[in-house]
Structure 1
């Protein structure tokens, strides 16, 4: 069967790391307050000259290097972001140009924190259908630029970064590597619980992030546990078969509650929210890259990726590495 197989991964972070203590010097908060509510100890904030496109380029180049190929061997870029460099052109086209690629499809996907799962699902369908042979799938964000730094309930939770996968269409056995099953969902009626209060056709301005945290938490745990169950059923696996869950890094309490709903311990959950904070569409590939590079994620293992974000959108994908 034809599957989309991961052949390389990479990530990139801004140069500036901001600890909770440093953040408390400019925001009415404290290290203890942030840790207790989110598990976050630090985050990376984009500086001058660092944009979603430059972070995406660096993550993509790292993934290409990991795969041992060049941009000339890529024929598709799908980039997930809620913080593009411009309203248009798509940030994916800027990344294509920065990498030296040309004359193949490159486009953005907007599904906020679930964006990477949507981008991976889109690329997977295009690879399996034969539209492309190799794809760069990227999640990249500069959320610091849409935060209200007077709102301590939200501004302490987010950070900037990028992560990327190189996916290749391969003919594999049923128990071989690749994307096994993916489920994606959206529920637009909950849009007012997590959104940005601006946009080109409404206010004409970018706007700032707004969130009703308690309601988001409640929906997140239920939706994520549900979609993980759907993917496992589609794939013919049980929760105990999963070697690693790589979740969207929104909040340590959400990660713990979701694992418990599946009857799993945190020992099988990759956690980077403490050091990266919530990097939206970048968080899943960033966390994956950390766990792959430090040796936890190994070839042959079953890895579940999952995320939920504004919209609401949510999804999950099961891969054999």
Structure 2
């Protein structure tokens, strides 16, 4: 009988991925709901009641996914007190790359002056950062790399139909990054990345997608979403992944100090927290100030809570996300 990936028993790895530092970057231009009222048939009250979003940052003409990602990474390196020369793995999670190729991770590598390293992108839309964390963790734990930059960066404003109030009001631009390092398992103690639970269901692709691409029409395309259908899948899918992740790590949901979810919609955040029995004060919520920044939303929210002193060394932090594909998943880390 075939075992699922959650049931496979793996031998202990000689290395463990540990958190070293983090950083974030958002564009300077802030677009409020009141400004959107002048652009489309909507209102601040309508947007906040349905999504919890009050504003979002929008990239300027000279800002790109790579430039935002590079600045977030630069800040993460400074926070970690790690030199760019020490980085030998760069993974950028993005659905809005600067170019079809080369990878945005390689452009960030060049911007930061990092010498030859492994550099590639992960495309799992809003779940991209959680997916990228899992890949980086596996490569560090197996000895393929020693120090990794994991970045989530997006410029979703470039793929929005600004005449569609059901989608245009939801998204924003930004980037977040973490530095992870490989530490001998015997020396890591309780620190480090503990578990992941990743999922995908391509049968639901038509519920959230972009109607274009190099191989299909040769154009960028615009974001399309069936919001109610996405909402119906989201709470159940995310809750299952959280339970699976905690079970793999041997911890209870009640043990979690901070829950850092993908910032898609306040009602989804509240629904997952209620289903999992998470106290409201443990949920990091930034959707009101950033909107949905896709792969950037989890590291952006994490950095807000770290900067304001909520997330501290030793805390048990759960990251989760769900995005187009569908893709979804959760990661658990002890700082």
What TM-score do the two structures reach when normalised by structure 1?
0.99
Residue number among 109, 113, 120 corresponding to 1:100 in the alignment: 113
Q: Which residue of 2 aligns with 1:10?
A: 23
Structure 2 residue corresponding to 1:164, chosen from 164, 177, 195: 177
Report the Cα distance in structure 2 between the residues aligned to 1:99 and 1:259, rounded to whole angstroms.
38
* Segments of 4+ moved more than 3 angstroms: 172-175
Inter-partner Cα distance in structure 2 for 1:70 and 1:233:
36
Please state whether the residue corresponding to 2:138 is helix, strand or coil: helix
CA distance in 2, matches of 1:25, 1:167: 43
**CA distance in 2: counterparts of 1:267 and 1:141, whole angstroms:** 28
Cα distance between partner residues in 1 of 2:189 and 2:42: 50
CA distance in 1, matches of 2:230, 2:279: 23
Superimposed CA distance per residue, residues 189-234 of structure 1 (whole angstroms, 9 cap, x where no aligned partner): 0000000000000110000000000110111100000000001111
Residue 69 of structure 1: CA displacement?
1.4
CA drift of 1:265 comes to: 2.3
Which of 257, 262, 273 is 2:271 aligned to? 257
| 1:150 aligned partner | 163
Structure 1 position 62 matched with structure 2 position 69: no
- Structure 2 Cα separation of the partners of residues 208 and 266 of structure 1: 35
Q: Are 2:15 and 2:143, in contact at CA under 8 Å, matched by a contact in 1?
A: no
For residue 69 of structure 2, give the secondary structure of its aligned residue in structure 1.
Answer: helix
Structure 2 unmatched ranges of 5 or more = 1-13
Decide which of 96, 115, 118 is 2:131's aligned counterpart: 118
| Alignment match, 1:301 | 315
Which position in structure 2 is the counterpart of 1:137? 150
- 2:311 aligned counterpart, secondary structure: coil
Count of residue pairs the alignment pairs up: 321
Match of 2:289 in 1: 275
Q: Tell me the distance in 1 between the aligned counterparts of 2:331 and 2:225.
A: 26
Q: Give the corresponding residue for 1:234.
A: 248
**Residue matched to 1:320:** 334
RMSD (Å), alpha carbons: 0.9
Residue 50 of structure 1 corresponds to which residue in structure 2?
63
Q: For the residues of structure 2 that align with 1:49 and 1:110, how far apart are their CA atoms?
A: 23
Name the CA distance, whole Å, in 2 between partners of 1:154 and 1:226: 26
Tell me how far 1:263 sits from its aligned partner.
1.0
Q: TM-score, normalised by structure 2?
A: 0.95
Answer yes or no: is 1:210 the counterpart of 2:228: no
Which deviates the most, 249-258 or 164-173? 164-173
Q: CA deviation at 1:2?
A: 2.1
